[in-house]
Structure 1
Amino acid sequence: MGDITRLRQILINLLSNAIKFTETGSIEVSVITRKNGDINHSSGATTDEIQFSIKDTGIGIPSDRLERLFKAFSQVNSSITRQYGGTGLGLAICKQLCELMGGRIWVESELSVGSTFYFTIAASVIPEQSEVQTRLIASIPEVKNYDNNANYHSPDFPKLSSERSPTAKIEPSQSFRILLTEDNLVNQKIALKQLQSLGYSADVAVNGKEALQLLEKKPYDLILMDCQMPILDGLETTKEIHRWQESNFASGRRPIVIAMTANAMKEDKQMCLDAGMDDYLSKPVMKEKLAATLEHWGSVIFKAKETAATEQTISTTDTGSVDLPIDWKHLHQISENNLEFELELLQIFVEDIQPRLEVMKIAIASDDFGQLALQAHQIKGASANMGATTMHLAAEKLEKFARNQERRGTTNLISELEEFVKRIQEFLISSQ
């Protein structure tokens, strides 16, 4: 058991670099385990060391540059930076992530022959037939596909069963608040029972008007909305929800709306979607379909909450360290509220811009206004795509100075850009 998100980030970084620097040949990924024998007495789990290696036949790294490789923004040399792009921040973050997971990272390399990056993490081994293992088996239906095709299991570990344990209770992947809007008492009872058996709970509103009143008072994340109700039906209620400002909702954001209707015609489904509903369930609602729908939208809600929490962290953090004048709403739209993608995008953004700033300094010193304008234009475009408005404006001004062959003020603008890049770097490190 370990942190899959951090592990994935390290592997993506190292494999991306291997691909980037290997024009011909191969890239080989290997994994081995070493038994440490340390026991966590509270859980009964032992802790082993897992070692990953990523071996490539790429350009290699000079021996005198290996020590500085894992320092932030440290480049092997400027020619490699120009040809392949920046690689400094990614390896620095990999080092931090490995250390956070009780491991380390190092590299062996020979110029023009290739490189092998090694890293280790400490991971708990689940005791055979433990309660934790039973829950894991019950939550991995995909294992059956591997069993049917090949033996992917190490002999040191018990083979996972593809059958769900009849006694294992599947907990909802994320907790969120549900409002059931339904006027029929029988339908209410059935829906609440299904939700309870799936591990969810819900409040009830008997019509759209009551639902709107509750949305102002309680932070609901998702509404199961009957379409035909007295006073205010589901379609009109949903339209009203979309008319509201997000500040009107107690949660601070518009909830997910899922239609529930006995009309199963294609036209009825389209009518619900046109009204602004996010999804559609036909009555009678089958428990399996309800579970799948809630699991899907639960993950969407969780990502939105995670993003909101990140924004809150940014807004309340010392402005001298990680205050980023970024249009976060724009960035969230690009990433579809995927925090991991946003962090990766910011990392690539910084690694691309860092060498450009160095090139621009050289261009100013040599009065190479053409090169200065080119690099400023590239930064301007990337900043606009990222929603980095302040940086976009600084790069735009720098490009105008270069077009007019005006040196005065260019150094200050580059300093502004460097400060911005530094803030992003600090934010990325603090987000790990």
Structure 2
Amino acid sequence: NGIIGMTSLLIDTNLNSEQQEYVNDIHTCSIALLRIINDILDFSKIESNKLDFEERPFNLRLCLEECIDLLAIQAVNKKIELAYFIEDNTPSIILGDETRLRQILVNLITNAVKFTAKGEVLVNVSSQQIPWSENIINSPNSEAFKLPEDSSDNQQNIASNLYEIKFSVKDTGIGIPRDKMHKLFQPFSQVDSSTTRQYGGTGLGLVISKRLCEMMGGKMWVESQEGIGSTFHFTLMAKVDENIRSQFNPISNLANKRLLIVDDRPSCLQILTQQLNEWGILSHTATSGIAAINILKNETADQNFDFDLIIIGMEMSEMDGVATAIAIREIPKYKYLPLVMLTPIGKSPTKNQLQKLNLAALLNKPIKQLQLYNILDKIFC
């Protein structure tokens, strides 16, 4: 930590190009070494049953968004779509160890981005309430979430607030050969163990993540096809205290609004459509700028497609978001229609373009549900 801190300060001083390169290498190697040390220490604690878990209330959505934010720049640099979706029945505030959940999520999302050259990485979160059962309460896997020894009525009341939270991290990366799957969760083991392997690592990340899941009453498994991609699933058990439960249930004036979503990423269209539908918004999709223009020019005969707002992805291959927005503004009916542009982090239209387009808002990808809601609510309020 001392080396990392001092080199971080040194990087910001006046250095020539050669010195800058050397300091950057020291800084990068120090971070890599710290990760190795942390992995070994965690693995040792798990093996000796010395790992303690906290049980505190935390915001599940915020935890996931912060994990995704850590990897967003890497995904943008690789031109990978990074997105998440939390299903509506999932509690927002849960009791558990946020640090350990964050450790698992960062490990899986980092691997997904690292092993994906093009396409997307999608994180999905769902949950189911666990019915009252002596088997669940006495389950050895739920030791970290053992219920207090109290009256049967009290135990039943607590158990009724017990949820199984399921996470899925799906990528369109290189996939895992079937004959190498058995190596995934073995300590110090790599799927590609050759000296010329392209991807580094200690071979401990997945092992630690799997053990952490099991210690939190859950499990981890993987589905993969070589050359197509992988999906890592994991679950954990979590209590929800009704006194601190804070589900995001917006009471909005968005119901029955009509939105057109324009993006050439099917995952982005799917996630936005699901989210808007949950808020009662009627959405229509277009997979390219040209398709959107055709819809807008031909919809006048059908009032069912009289849109109140259009969401446009900035980076589209056939016709980018800026060109699409300009074309929309040339249609008299939509000259002043609110337009929201989805932009990758660090990339946005120029000042001249912004003035010409008269956008209602810019929204960074990965799209955050609360930010999207607040923008739409502000536009329509």
Q: Pick the TM interval, shorter chain.
A: 0.3 to 0.5
Q: State the TM-score, normalizing by the size of structure 1.
A: 0.30
The TM-score with structure 2 as length reference comes to 0.34
Higher RCO, 1 vs 2 (CA within 8 Å, ≥6 residues apart)? 2
Structure with larger Rg? 1
Higher helix fraction: Structure 1 or Structure 2? Answer: 1
Flag the structure with higher strand content. Answer: 2
